[in-house]
């Protein structure tokens, strides 16, 4: 998955890899009910 620095492709790939990894993480939090309730508890909804 690692591209040599000889080609200018690694720069673009590196920029896309971090963005792609951050996107799924953000989507997984709201998508997972377990993580959502954990985020809601500290928010102030302790009734649940």
pLDDT tens digits, one per residue of 2-28: 665 555 555 555 555 555 555 555 555
Closest residue by Cα to residue 11 from 22, 2, 23: 2
- The residue-averaged pLDDT of 39-44 equals 52
- The residue-averaged pLDDT of 28-36 equals 54
Structure tokens that stand for 9 in this block: 């492709």
CA distances, 37 to each of 21, 27, 30 (Å): 23, 15, 9
Task: Report pLDDT for 38.
Answer: 55
Task: Report pLDDT for 14.
Answer: 53
Structure tokens that stand for 45 in this block: 């909804």
Judge if pTM exceeds 0.95. no
- The residue-averaged pLDDT of 28-42 equals 53
Structure tokens that stand for 34 in this block: 């377990």
Structure tokens that stand for 40 in this block: 């809601």
């Amino acid at each position: 998955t690692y591209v040599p620095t000889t080609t200018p492709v690694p720069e673009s790939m590196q920029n896309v890899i971090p963005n792609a990894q951050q996107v799924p993480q953000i989507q997984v939090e709201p998508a997972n009910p377990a993580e959502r309730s954990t985020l809601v508890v500290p928010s102030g909804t302790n009734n649940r």
